[in-house]
Amino acid sequence: MSDIVESPHADSDRRAKRNVAILVAAQAILGSQMPMIFVLGGLAGQSLASNPCFATLPISLIVLCSMLSATPLSAFMQRYGRRAGFFLGTAGGAAGGAIGALGLLYGSFGLFLLGSAFTGIYMSAQGFYRFAATDTATDEFRPKAISWTMAGGLLSAVIGPQLVKVTSDAMVIPFLGTYLAVIALNIFGSLLFLGLDIPRPPAPSANSPSGRTRRQLLTTPRIAVAIICAMVSYALMNLVMTSTPLAIVGCGFEQNDAANVVSGHVLAMFAPSFFTGHLIARFGVERIVATGLAILAAAGAVGLAGVALENFYIALILLGIGWNFGFIGATTMLAGAHTAEERGRIQGLNDMIVFGCVTVASVASGGLMNCSGGTPQAGWTAVNLAMAPFLALAGGALIWLLMRPRDA
C-alpha cells in the first residue's frame, strides 16, 4: 500500500482543473462571437439605422439584455445547475445570430435589434464562466481558476476578428456571413458543456442556512467595493471599445485596421490572465485592482493624445490590460466575500448591476462618438474624457475600503 498521503483538497482541485479546462475552451470557441459582434455591431447598426447617433444601439441592447438576464440566469443555475444554464446561453446566442442575419437580409434595424437582445442572453451566461470556475475550487486555487478561465478569451481574441475578416464580405449582403458563423459557433461550441462536472446545488431544506439578504450583501463593504470596481472597469472598457471601430473608420483608416485594433485590445484583455491570479495571490487583490484602475487612466490619456493609428493601438491595449486587472481582481474579491447559499443571489445581482452600467456606457458611447462636436476626432476626445469621474469613484471606494479597520 502506498504511504503517500494526498492533500484533502487534491480531489477537489483535480475536478476544478478539469472544469477550468472546459471553461477555457468555451471562452475560446463560444467567446469568439463577442469580438465578432463588437467589431461589426456598430458598423452594421450604422448601415441600418436612420439616425447615426443610434449606430451603437445594437451593442447597447446586447449589454442591456445581458443585465436583465443575469439575475434569472443565476437563479436558474442555482436550481438546475451550471450546465443547464450554459446550454440556455448558447441557445440565446444561436437565436441572436439567426435573427440578426434576418435583419441584415431584409434591411430591418428592428429585427437586427431583436437579434441583439437574444445575443445578450449568451453574453450573460458567458459572464458566469468565471464564477463556475470557483464552484469546485479550493480557496487557494480560486484566483487562479478565475484567471485561467478568463485566459480562454485570448484565443477568442484571435479567432473572432479573423473570422470577421473571412466572413464579413463572404456574401453579397455585408456582414451576413459573420452572423451565420455565429449560429454555427453556438451549436457546436455548446457540446463542450457535456463534460462539465459541477454538482447541482442541493435544494434548500427548512433547516438550511439562507444566508444574507440582498440588502445585507450590498451593504457589506467588501462586496460593495468589489461591485463598484467591477462596474467601473467593465463599463469604461465597453465605453471606449464600442466607439473604437467608428473612430478608426471615421478618422480615415480601413475596416481591417479597426478589426486589428480590436484584436489587439481583446488579446490585451485576456493575455495577462495567465499570471493575474498569481499576482493577486502574491500582492493582494486590492493592489491589483488599484493597478488596473491606474492603467485604465493611462489608456484615456493616450486616447486624448491623438488619433494616429498607433494611438488607437496603444490606448486599446492599455484598456484591455486595465480591464483584466480591475475586473478579475474585483471578481476574486466578490467570490471570497459570500457563502455557497448566497451564490445565486449575489452573483446575479452583481452582474445585473455591472452590465446595467455597461449598458449606459454603451449607449453613451454612440452619442458621444457621433454627436459630440461634429467630427470623429471631437467624439473620440469626448469618449476618453468621460472616463475620469468614474475612475475617481472606483479609486475613492478602494481607498475607503483599505482605510477601514481590519476588524471591521
Q: Is 358 helix (H, G, I), strand (E, B) or coil?
A: helix
pLDDT band of 49, cuts 50, 70, 90: confident
User: How many Å apart are CA 397 and CA 399, to the nearest integer?
Assistant: 5
Q: What pLDDT is recorded for position 9? A: 47
Q: What pLDDT is recorded for position 64? A: 84
User: How many Å apart are CA 16 and CA 138, to the nearest integer?
Assistant: 8
295-324 pLDDT tens trace? 999 999 999 998 899 999 999 999 999 999
Sign, Cα dihedral of 21, 225, 402, 324 = positive
User: How many Å apart are CA 312 and CA 245, to the nearest integer?
Assistant: 10
Sign, Cα dihedral of 88, 109, 160, 172 = positive
Highest mean pLDDT pick, 3-12, 33-42, 188-197, 354-363? 188-197
Q: What pLDDT is recorded for position 224? A: 93
Q: What pLDDT is recorded for position 129? A: 93
pLDDT band of 3, cuts 50, 70, 90: very low
Q: Would you identify the CATH topology of the domain 10-198+214-403?
A: Growth Hormone; Chain: A; (1.20.1250)
Residue type, 354: V
Cell of 343: 451564490
Sign, Cα dihedral of 85, 236, 227, 279 = positive
Q: What pLDDT is recorded for position 210? A: 67
Per DSSP, 404 falls in state S
Mean pLDDT of all residues in 133-157: 84
197-209 pLDDT tens trace? 888 776 665 566 6
Q: What pLDDT is recorded for position 222? A: 92
Residue among 272, 285, 360, 362 nearest 322 (CA): 272
Residue 341 reports pLDDT greater than 80 = no
Tracing cell 451564490 back to the chain, one arrives at: 343
Mean pLDDT of all residues in 148-161: 83
pTM for the structure as a whole: 0.75
198-238 pLDDT tens trace? 887 766 655 666 678 888 888 899 999 999 999 999 999 98
Residue among 244, 286, 251 nearest 269 (CA): 244
Residue 4 reports pLDDT greater than 50 = no
Least confident range from 80-94, 118-132, 164-178, 362-376: namely: 362-376
56-85 pLDDT tens trace? 788 888 888 988 898 899 889 988 899 999
Mean pLDDT of all residues in 363-382: 82
Diameter over CA atoms, the chain: 78
